[in-house]
Amino acid sequence: MRIDLVDFRSTSPAGSTSPSLLSEWRVGALLQAIAVRDAASGQLFLDIGGQRHNARLASGDTAGPANGEVLNVRVLRNSPVLALETLSSSTPVTADNEATVVADAMRRFVPRQESPALMLANLSWLAQGKNGADELPRAVTQAAAQLWQALPDAESLGDPKTLASALQRSGTFLEANLADASRGATDPKVLVNDLKSLMLSLSRTLRDHGARPNAAHSDIAMNAAPPTARGPLTALNAAPATFSMIDGIEQQMNELSRQTDGAIARLTTTQITNTAPDPAVQSMLIELPVRHEDRASMVRLRVEHDESRKRQGGGDSWSVEAAMDLGQVGALHAKVTLTGHRIGVQLRAESPAIVNALSARAGELESILREAGLEIDRIVCLHGMPVGDAGARPARLLDVRA
């Protein structure tokens, strides 16, 4: 398709266009243009370098480019008019297209997702060198060890900088970090130790050495409810190492391959969930595997920023929730809300002993918060996990119309 810019008539001083500008658009130069259509007349304009130019179709598709279509063009000549040849074009992602992409991705990943707990248990098994660990291909054990060592240590997460680094490397932000790295805005070490990147590497290594995830035993799979942006934040239960129940290197490889792919699918589902738009509340869900000595568990975090109260004249409102499984004593849940300088803390546990221990330290926590200049709304320690909030906004896993 050839397009002429009719307002470029001459390179002479009498012309309406700057000679220096036309000299930059020499014959053969490659440009990017955005097609703009007048809503009333349908007249075509090209936006090039932030300037809009009157355009006409000289040859090719009689319909021409659609409004918003991005064109990669080459300058054919610049006299008597500026003639452009279209090399390629792409349609910008609209809201409807984006919704379709999200729905398709959810259909692809949700059925494959499973709790990462089984994968973590088997990584621990390999790290300890238990029966059969030394019989796996060396490349597989190295990839598994690299992932295991990259898990953040639970005891170190009390330091804010360490926690921030662990969240950045959780895999939730891999694609964003890759985009930043292309502009030199991200430390390459973040990408090397990113958990999703390492899981993808382990998955590829397993397949390269003959692993077949579809051949794994489905009866020992550990499915988990798909992550959602709303609703109670429940802990992901710990799991035993399935390697202890599987004989044969081939089947162990198949099992670890399926578990790794399931963990990647769940992480990707979480990333997609975080894209759900909400004009009132910005929400981010992160599932972070943490290592504690020779075992690992999942910490689920949800951060919300509610700007609706601020618009109504109230304070800026933030909330942070965390949930994790403590093994034999059950799950632990915490929620901290901050509105302006007023803070509230709610701690829950399935074990009465844990509730009592938390209650005994509540006064110490209150003193620390007051010393930080915060006003205390309340600090409560409760038995049992949170249930659905009747006033919460409903969450849809998929919004698809037939």
Q: Are 144 and 126 in contact (CB under 8 A)?
A: yes
CA diameter of the chain: 89
Q: Are 130 and 245 in contact (CB under 8 A)?
A: no
Cα radius of gyration rounded to whole Å, the chain = 28
* pLDDT at 18 (0 to 100): 46
CA distance linking residue 259 with residue 171, whole number of Å: 16
Which is more confident, 314 or 4? 4
In degrees and rounded to multiples of 5, residue 380 shows phi and psi of -125, 145
Residues in contact with 4: Cβ distance below 8 Å, sequence separation at least 6, in sequence order:
55, 56, 58, 81, 82, 83, 84
* Model pLDDT for residues 319-335, shown as the tens digit of each residue: 999 999 998 999 999 99
What tokens does 51 get? 């300037």
Is the per-residue pLDDT at 109 higher than 70? yes
Helix (H) or strand (E) holding 179: helix 174-182
CA distance linking residue 68 with residue 46, whole number of Å: 10
CA distance linking residue 162 with residue 141, whole number of Å: 27
Provide, rounded to the nearest whole percent, the portion of the chain with pLDDT above 90: 49
Is the per-residue pLDDT at 19 higher than 50? no
In a 10 Å sphere around its CB, with 0-12 CB exposed, 13-18 middle and 19+ buried, how is residue 205 labelled? buried
Q: Residue with structure tokens 């994790």?
A: 324
Q: Give one word for 384, left, alpha or beta, with left for phi > 0 and alpha for psi -120 to 50.
A: left
* pLDDT at 313 (0 to 100): 63
Is the per-residue pLDDT at 208 higher than 60? yes
* Model pLDDT for residues 148-206, shown as the tens digit of each residue: 999 999 999 999 999 999 999 999 999 998 888 877 777 777 889 999 999 999 999 99
Nearest to 227 by CA among 117, 115, 151, 392: 115
Residues in contact with 131: Cβ distance below 8 Å, sequence separation at least 6, in sequence order:
244
The structural domains of the chain, with segments of one domain joined by +, span: 2-90, 97-275
314 confidence band (pLDDT: 50, 70, 90): low
CA distance linking residue 311 with residue 317, whole number of Å: 11
* Model pLDDT for residues 24-83, shown as the tens digit of each residue: 578 888 888 889 888 778 889 998 877 888 999 988 767 788 888 889 888 998 888 888
Residues in contact with 280: Cβ distance below 8 Å, sequence separation at least 6, in sequence order:
306, 307, 308
CA angle 115, 119, 121 (to 5 degrees): 105
* Model pLDDT for residues 333-346, shown as the tens digit of each residue: 999 999 989 999 99
Beta-carbon count within 10 A of 254 CB: 21
